[in-house]
C-alpha cells in the first residue's frame, strides 16, 4: 500500500494526489515517500489547505532537505498561493535555519499587501504553525 500511495504522490495528477490523501487522513505516513514536496505543491495549485501540507513540510524539515523546500518554493513562487501557505513555507525555512529565505518570503507577503505580514508577522506565524 505504501508503495502505491507514494507512486500516486509521485506521478498522478494533483487532483488525484489531493483526493487520495484527503480520503486517507492520517493513517498513511507520507514521510516515507521520496517526493514528499509534491504534496504541498499539489495542494497549492488546487488552492487547498490540509494537515497533509503541514505533515509534508514537517517531513522535509525533519529530514533536513532544504533542497526540496527550495524546489517547492521555486515551483509555486509565481502562482497565486495564499499568504497563509507562503507563511508555512517561510516557517519551514526558519526551522531549517534558513533565516534569509524565511525573511525574504515574509517580505514578499508584506509587499503583496497583506498588512498583517508587515505589522504582526510573529503573531501570524504562531497562528499558522
pLDDT tens-place string over residues 30-46: 889 999 999 999 999 99
Least-confidence region, from 29-43, 69-83, 112-126: 112-126
H-type helices in the chain, by residue range?
2-11, 14-24, 38-45, 51-62, 66-76, 83-95, 99-111, 115-119, 121-128
Per-residue pLDDT for 129 more than 80? no
Q: Tell me the whole-structure pTM to 2 decimals.
A: 0.85
Cell output for 71: 524546489
Task: Return the domain boundaries, the chain.
Answer: 2-128
Q: Which residue has the cell 484527503?
A: 22
Which of 72, 76, 80 lies closest to 56 in space, CA to CA? 72
74-110 burial, b at 16+ Cβ within 10 Å, e below that, comes to: eebeeeebebebbbbbbbbbbbbebeebbeebbeebb
Measured at the alpha carbon of residue 28, what is the angle toward residues 8 and 13, in degrees to the nearest 5? Answer: 20
CATH code for the part of the protein at 2-128 = 1.25.40.350
pLDDT tens-place string over residues 77-101: 888 888 889 999 999 999 999 988 9
For 65, which DSSP code? -
Amino acid at each position: 500500500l505504501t508503495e502505491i500511495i507514494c507512486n500516486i504522490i509521485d506521478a498522478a495528477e494533483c487532483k488525484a494526489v489531493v483526493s487520495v490523501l484527503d480520503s486517507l487522513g492520517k493513517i498513511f505516513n507520507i514521510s516515507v515517500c521520496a517526493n514528499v514536496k509534491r504534496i504541498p505543491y499539489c495542494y497549492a495549485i488546487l488552492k487547498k489547505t490540509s494537515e497533509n501540507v503541514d505533515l509534508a513540510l514537517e517531513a522535509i524539515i525533519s529530514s533536513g532537505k532544504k533542497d526540496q523546500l527550495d524546489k517547492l518554493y521555486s515551483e509555486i513562487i509565481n502562482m497565486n498561493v495564499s499568504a497563509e501557505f507562503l507563511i508555512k513555507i517561510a516557517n519551514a525555512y526558519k526551522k531549517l535555519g534558513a533565516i534569509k529565505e524565511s525573511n525574504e518570503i515574509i517580505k514578499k507577503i508584506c509587499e503583496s499587501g497583506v498588512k498583517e505580514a508587515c505589522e504582526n508577522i510573529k503573531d501570524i506565524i504562531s497562528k499558522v504553525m
